[in-house]
């Protein structure tokens, strides 16, 4: 659900500042991670892909091939309030997007494509959070 996704985003987003330097993602492109879900934010920058890889690695959410670690992602999402209602769907949506861009060899470019696909599909599935929902839970993490 969108409520659970707001918790996941708030927590995951805390890793952004640790990853800014190595990813090269400027504050002009993305100031705060929760803006990822804004209607007018375009998920297109290669540096955002690099940042998502770096952030995911902080929580061991990726395998050695830079694809999602299914078990760890499932457990990560399950750890949030009502996480069990989102975990399976989130893993399914991300994996479906990974399959569509599997032939891309640049990891950062591929992950930003997967993230953009995930944003579209999460909205369609009704599990994309409003930025205000994320801001409401930011202080918990």
Size of the site for ligand BOM (CB under 6 A): 14
Q: How far is the CB of 8 from ligand BOM (least distance, A)?
A: 5
Q: How far is the CB of 100 from ligand BOM (least distance, A)?
A: 11
Contacts of 74 (CB under 8 A, 6+ apart): 87, 88, 91
**Residue 84 DSSP code:** G
Interacting residue with ligand BOM among 16, 111, 112, 134 (CB under 6 A): 111
Nearest one of 83, 110, 14, 25 to 55, comparing CA atoms:
14
Residue 80 binds ligand BOM, judged by CB under 6 A = no
- The two structure tokens encoding residue 65: 């091939």
Q: Rounded CA gap, 76 and 41, in Å?
A: 25
Q: How far is the CB of 98 from ligand BOM (least distance, A)?
A: 5
Of 24 and 83, the one with the shorter C-beta distance to ligand BOM is 83
Q: Rounded CA gap, 73 and 131, in Å?
A: 22
Of 24 and 74, the one with the shorter C-beta distance to ligand BOM is 74
Q: Rounded CA gap, 28 and 57, in Å?
A: 24
The answer to whether residues 101 and 114 touch, using CB atoms and an 8 Å cutoff, is yes
Residue 86 binds ligand BOM, judged by CB under 6 A = no
Residue 51 binds ligand BOM, judged by CB under 6 A = no
SS3 68: strand
Q: How far is the CB of 68 from ligand BOM (least distance, A)?
A: 4
Please give the residue ranges that form the binding site for ligand BOM (CB under 6 A): 8-9, 12, 36, 52, 56, 67-68, 94, 98, 111, 114-115, 118
């Amino acid at each position: 659900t969108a409520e659970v996704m707001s918790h996941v985003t708030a927590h995951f987003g805390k890793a952004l500042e640790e990853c800014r330097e190595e990813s090269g993602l400027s504050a002009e492109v993305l100031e705060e991670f929760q803006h990822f879900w804004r209607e007018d934010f375009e998920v297109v920058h290669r540096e955002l892909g690099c940042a998502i890889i770096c952030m995911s690695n902080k929580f061991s959410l990726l395998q050695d091939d830079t694809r999602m670690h299914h078990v760890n992602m499932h457990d990560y999402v399950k750890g949030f309030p009502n996480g069990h209602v989102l975990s399976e769907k989130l893993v399914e949506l991300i994996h479906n997007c990974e399959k569509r861009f599997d032939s891309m060899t640049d990891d950062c470019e591929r992950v930003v494509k997967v993230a953009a696909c995930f944003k579209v599909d999460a909205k369609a599935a009704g599990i994309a959070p409003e930025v205000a929902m994320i801001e409401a839970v930011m202080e918990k993490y």
